[in-house]
Amino acid sequence: MKNLKPNSKIETEGLLNKLIVGIVITALISFLLTFFYLPLLKILNFALIQNNSFTFEIFWTTLTSSLNLNALAFTFIQSLLTTLICIFLGMPVSYFLAKYSFKGRKLLINLLTVPFVLPSIVVLLGFIILYGEGGIINRIWIDITGIPLIKLYGSIEGIVLAHSFYNISVIIRMMIPAWENVDQNLTEISKTLGGKNWTIFWKIIFPQIKNYLISASLLIFTYTFNSFAIVLYLGEVKYQTLEVRIFKLMKNTLNFPAGASLGIIQLFFNLVIIILYIIFEKKTRAMASGKEKPFYHEKIEFSKSNWKKILVEISLIIFTVFIIIFSISPMIAVIVASFKPNTPDGSPFWGYMSLLSKDYESLLGASPLRLLLNTLSFALLTTLITLIFSIGIVFILRNRLQRLNNYKKPFIENIISLAIILPMGTSSITLAMGLFLQLKNSAVFNNNVWILIVLAHVLICIPFATRSILSAYNRIDMDLLNIASTLGASRLRIFWKVELPMMKSGLIVAGIFSFAISLGEFGATNFLARAEYGTLSLGISKLLSSRTLQLPASMASILIIITFICFFLIQKTGEKDLKF
């Protein structure tokens, strides 16, 4: 006879599940409320309320000031330029890497992705060493032509070049699957139907890659739109992004209401771009999943064929090599510079030795070693907290998903995704500004500002981490969870025994990615950090104009090496879950 009594253990586990979901939701909501939504309200408050009454006056004067309008215009122009240049430079490379098979292809793709995770201040240093006034490339160019190749400071080309360096990897990485998903059968059919190559490209191939291209462009646009460190140092007074402008208003002129107003304007544009991005990304996913089974990607082998094809192949190779050099030269330059003494009798290890000295304490606010320890511990804490919250978010989403399972419109899911989008669309300076305005008189800000730095890092990382984890989570077949429950596994058991192991790769990627982001975060840290709570990035920024670049280059080299290790680990575990 079967056991007919209701199973009380499962009953209590069901209750426990509800309890846990309740706790997770409450914890998440209160976290976001205290450290994100309330600060955001505070920003609104500063921008729109004057003498206890609601007014658009500050907002309006801020918006119409020529300095701010210039910043807005410049932000758009440089984003647009960067996006176009990245498309131009990245498309041929992505095509080459998607279509051709050769040894070391995977390694190359990963090498080209590293710049994206590189700390911005390190990139800046690399650019100064290469293209700065006494920079290697400019010196060579002057020897040949008599004039410098590029003016890095106070010019739009310097900024756009540095931003392109950063973002080419986005185009390359996102377009490789696009090219791979182009249905070769369709192209062949079109050829048999007599289509000309050009017609085939525009009518058959381009529609298949269009959405990928738009998503990638939107991503590049938003990253460049919110760029801070590079513009802060290269733009001088002439060129400022909104992000830099807000920072200067808040830190130099202490005009909080104006900073808040600009922050709101920036947030608005960011949200528009992010929502567009989400729409187009969904379309690419729909395209990918609409296909019955993943295509067998036939890679082209290099072979002798007609001269026209060889010519194309050779130019593709040259172009790719050029991009690779462009992408890795700043890193190499930094590492080389770290061993290059200023004076003929200087030691090549002086930079690294100085890390342990206390000589720079007054300039840096703390010893270089302390900065390194700060950087690592902030990154570790950020990773830990981010992972806990991201798992929480996924846990809530899955509870909804499972219940709704196609039969009702997932209303709550939409609200939650919207609640995640908002932090995604908030720049690091705005995040820091909100925390600052909210807590500037509190004991935490005055005594333990590191807590706020870590919180800002967490808020910056959560969207990335959540997307990585969700990417892994979405690969789990819902039927698997259904089976597990019919087999008698409780919700919690399913979570531990099925879902968690199956999204392990996403979790690892999310963790490492968060670590790397926190490691190099500059904007929010620079905004909030005081006294001994600086990081390596801040230390490097303070030494940028010093006599020798050997010490900052040594610090940057350490960051480069850690970033490389992070990226190597990501590549080993679950590359496909890496979401920009």
Q: Does 502 bind other proteins (CB under 8 A)?
A: yes
Kindly give, in sequence order, each residue whose CB lies less than 8 Å from that of residue 562, ignoring residues fewer than 6 positions away.
516, 519
Site size toward other proteins (CB under 8 A) is 28
Q: Between 3 and 343, whose beta carbon lies closer to other proteins?
A: 3
- Choose the binding region for other proteins from 91-99, 122-130, 411-419, 477-485 (rule: CB under 8 A): 477-485
| Complex with other proteins: residue 9 or 547, whichever CB lies closer | 9
- The SS3 assignment for 49 reads strand
Q: Does 14 bind other proteins (CB under 8 A)?
A: yes
Q: Quote the CA–CA distance of 260 and 246 in Å, as a whole number.
A: 8
Of 480-499, binders to other proteins (CB under 8 A) are: 480, 482-490, 493, 497-498
What is the H or E stretch that residue 573 is in? helix 550-573
Nearer to other proteins, 459 or 507 (CB): 507
Say how far residue 339 (Cα) sits from the centre of its chain.
30
CA distance 75 to 226: 8
* Residue type present at position 24: V
With beta carbons less than 8 A apart as the criterion, state whether 86 and 169 touch. Answer: no
Q: Of the two residues 138 and 490, which places its CB atom closer to other proteins in the complex?
A: 490
Q: Which is nearer to other proteins, 279 or 492 (CB)?
A: 492
- Is the CB of 27 or the CB of 480 nearer to other proteins? 480
The secondary structure of 211-279 as a DSSP string is HHHHHHHHHHHHHHHT--HHHHHHSTTT---HHHHHHHHHHTS--HHHHHHHHHHHHHHHHHHHHHHHH
Interaction between residue 501 and other proteins (CB under 8 A): yes
Is residue 259 within 8 Å of residue 266, measured between CB atoms?
Answer: no
User: Residue 490 CB, nearest distance to other proteins (Å)?
Assistant: 6
> Tokens 């190559």 label which residue?
197
Smallest distance, Å, CB 531 to other proteins?
48
Candidates 143, 301, 345, 479: give the one binding other proteins (CB under 8 A). 479
Residue 51 or 486 having the CB closest to other proteins: 486
Residue 193 interacts with other proteins (CB under 8 A): yes or no: no
Helix (H, G, I), strand (E, B) or coil at 507: helix
Q: In angstroms, give the least distance from the CB of 404 to other proteins.
A: 10
Which region, judged by CB under 8 A, interacts with other proteins, from 9-17, 65-73, 99-107, 337-345?
Answer: 9-17
Select from 7-15, 167-175, 364-372, 526-534 the region that touches other proteins (CB under 8 A).
Answer: 7-15
Q: Segment contacting other proteins (CB under 8 A): 114-122, 165-173, 336-344, 474-482?
A: 474-482
From the CB of 1, what's the least distance to other proteins, in Å? 10
When asked if residue 290 is in the footprint of other proteins (CB under 8 A), the reply is no
CB 461 within 8 A of CB 518: yes
H helices of 6-65, where? 8-32, 38-48, 57-64
Q: Of 397, 524, 505, nearest to 35 (Cα)?
A: 524
Distances (CA, A) of 95 to 109, 183, 185, 201, 239: 12, 14, 18, 13, 34
Q: How far is the CB of 503 from other proteins (least distance, A)?
A: 10
**317 lies in the site for other proteins, by CB under 8 A:** no
Give, as ranges, the residues between 399 and 438 that touch other proteins (CB under 8 A). Answer: 405, 407
By C-beta, is 26 or 405 nearer to other proteins? Answer: 405
The contact pattern for other proteins, residues 208-247, with x = CB under 8 A and - = no contact, is: ----------------------------------------
User: What's the rounded Cα separation, in Å, for the pair 334 and 121?
Assistant: 11
Task: Map residues 361-400 to x or -, x wherever contact with other proteins holds by CB under 8 A.
Answer: ----------------------------------------
Query: What is the per-residue binding string for other proteins in 134-173, x denoting contact by CB under 8 A?
Result: ----------------------------------------
Least Cα distance to 312 among 88, 90, 96, 84 occurs for: 96
Cα–Cα dist 268/275, whole Å? 11
Does 33 bind other proteins (CB under 8 A)? Our answer is: no
d(CA 168, CA 143): 29
Which residues, 6+ apart, have CB-to-CB distance to 319 below 8 Å?
92, 93, 96
Residues that bind other proteins (CB under 8 A): 2, 4, 6-10, 13-14, 405, 407, 477, 479-480, 482-490, 493, 497-498, 501-502
